[in-house]
Amino acid sequence: GLKKKAAFVAVRASTGEVLAVVSDPGSYGFDQALDGAFPPGSTFKAVTSTALIDRGLLPSSPTSCPGSITAGGEVFRNAEGDAPVQNLAQAFTESCNTAFIGLATTRLDDASLPAAAAAYDIGKTPAMGLAAFGGDVPTPADQAALAATAIGQGHVLVSPLDMAMVAAAID
């Protein structure tokens, strides 16, 4: 009974081959699974984790998940308050915004997240014979923008295809 737009992309993780693409009938004349440009939200934490690991962190690296955190004068909160996490792996499992913001703003520079996204070809137009949005992860202008980017908000835009390819690459 939901009337929301939906998109799905299935990718063979071993090869990166796109197996299926589905957009709901109300897509307004374009394939939102391939050509849509959406803020990825918490799914982007996989990219942020990559940047943090590239900077020497481990899944066991300590962190916490306070209910809120301030970065660049802007207050960020978790969707569901705080959670008892002790390390990066638990913060990822709980999808803790404040843990990722705290780690990103203390461990990453402005180029880290765009570079990690580029490692997954986000920002590169897919060559598949169909219109497809390659994504955009601009260099954050300040600490508040870095914090927003770390949790897939702010000016970050990707397609469902982009994030399916990230998941396939991590598999």
pLDDT tens for 10-29 read 999 999 999 999 887 665 67
The CA–CA distances, whole Å, from 91 to 23, 96, 120, 140, 163 equal 31, 5, 22, 22, 19
- Tell whether the model's pLDDT for residue 120 goes beyond 80: yes
pLDDT at 23: 86
Q: What does the pLDDT read at residue 28?
A: 65
pLDDT digits (tens, 9 = 90+) for 33-46: 999 999 999 999 99
Please give the pLDDT value at position 26: 61
pLDDT of residue 82: 74
Q: Which residue has the higher pLDDT, 126 or 4?
A: 126
**What pTM does this model have?**
0.93
Identify the weakest region by mean pLDDT among 21-30, 46-55, 71-80, 109-118.
21-30
Length of the chain: 171
Report whether pLDDT(141) > 90: yes
Average pLDDT over residues 38-64: 97
- Render pLDDT for 74-95 as a digit per residue (tens, 0 to 9): 999 998 877 789 999 999 999 9
Q: Which of 123, 130, 115, 117 is nearest to 18 (CA)?
A: 130
CA distance 80 to 72: 22
Cα distances (Å, whole numbers) of residue 108 to 10, 67, 96, 103, 130:
31, 22, 17, 8, 35
